[in-house]
Amino acid sequence: MILIGIDTALRCTGYGIIEISGKKYSAIDCGVIKNKPKIPLSECLHRLRGGIEEIIKLYRPQIAAIEGGYYFKNAQTAMVLGMARGTVVSILAREKIPIYEYAPRKAKQAVVGNGNATKDQVAHSVSQMLNLDIQQIPKDSTDAIALALCHAFISHSANGIYLKPPI
C-alpha cells in the first residue's frame, strides 16, 4: 500500500510518500513543490498541479492524506490556501485516490504524541519511525510525512473504527 501525505500551501507544498506492508512503514520519497514570491497566483497553481500530477504518475499512491480542519481568523488567507488545496484535491479526485483529511494537531498527536509538537519534534519522530537520517528530510516535508503516518496509524488501529470517511 502506497500512501501520499500532502501539506498544501501556495508557495511551498510538502509531500511524503510512504509504503506500508503489514506493520512496517518505509519512506519512498519526500520533498517540496516551491513557488517563488514573484510568481503570479495562476502560475503557482499551474505549477502545483503539474508537480502533484508528476508525483502521482511516478509513485501511484492508493490513498492520500491532506491537512484539514483549519481554523482561520483571516478569510483572505483561507481563500488563497483553499485555492491551492482545490488544485490538489481536484487532481487526486481525477485519479480516483481517496482523500482523508487530518487536522495538524491530530497528525502531530499521532507521530509525536503531542498535538502541540514543534516542527523539530515532528521531524525527529518521523525520521525515527521511518529509519531516516533527519538531515535527509527536507524541512517543509515533515508535516506531509506526518499526515501519511497519521492516516496509516488510524486506519490500522482498532480496525479503523476511528477512520472518518474520505472527503
Shortest spacing between CB 135 and its own copies, in angstroms: 33
85 binds its own copies (CB under 8 A): yes
By CB under 8 A, name the one of 2, 99, 103, 132 that touches its own copies.
99
Contact region with its own copies (CB under 8 A), list: 24-32, 55-63, 83-91, 140-148: 83-91
Cα distance between residue 10 and residue 70, in whole Å:
16
Least Cα distance to 102 among 59, 149, 49, 51 occurs for 149
The b-or-e profile of 139-151 (16+ CB within 10 A means b, else e) is ebbbbbbbbbbbb
By CB under 8 A, name the one of 60, 94, 119, 139 that touches its own copies.
94
Is 7 a residue of the active site? Answer: yes
What would the x/- binding string for its own copies be over residues 46 to 75, using CB under 8 A? x-xxx-------------------xxxxxx
- Measured from the CB atom, the residue of 82 and 138 that comes closer to its own copies is 82
Cα distance between residue 165 and residue 68, in whole Å:
13
Count of alpha carbons within 13 angstroms of residue 38, beta-carbon side? 0
Whether the CB-CB separation of 18 and 27 falls below 8 Å is answered with yes
What would the x/- binding string for its own copies be over residues 31 to 50, using CB under 8 A? ---------xxxx-xx-xxx
Residue reference for cell 516535508: 141
Is 29 a residue of the active site? Answer: no
The H or E element containing residue 3 is strand 2-7
From the candidates 67, 95, 101, 133, which is the catalytic residue? 67
Shortest spacing between CB 47 and its own copies, in angstroms: 9
Single-letter residue type at 164: K
Is 143 a residue of the active site? Answer: no
Whether the CA torsion 154, 61, 17, 35 is positive or negative: it is negative
Active site residues: 7, 67, 140
Binding-site ranges for its own copies (CB under 8 A): 40-43, 45-46, 48-50, 70-87, 89-90, 92-94, 99, 165-167
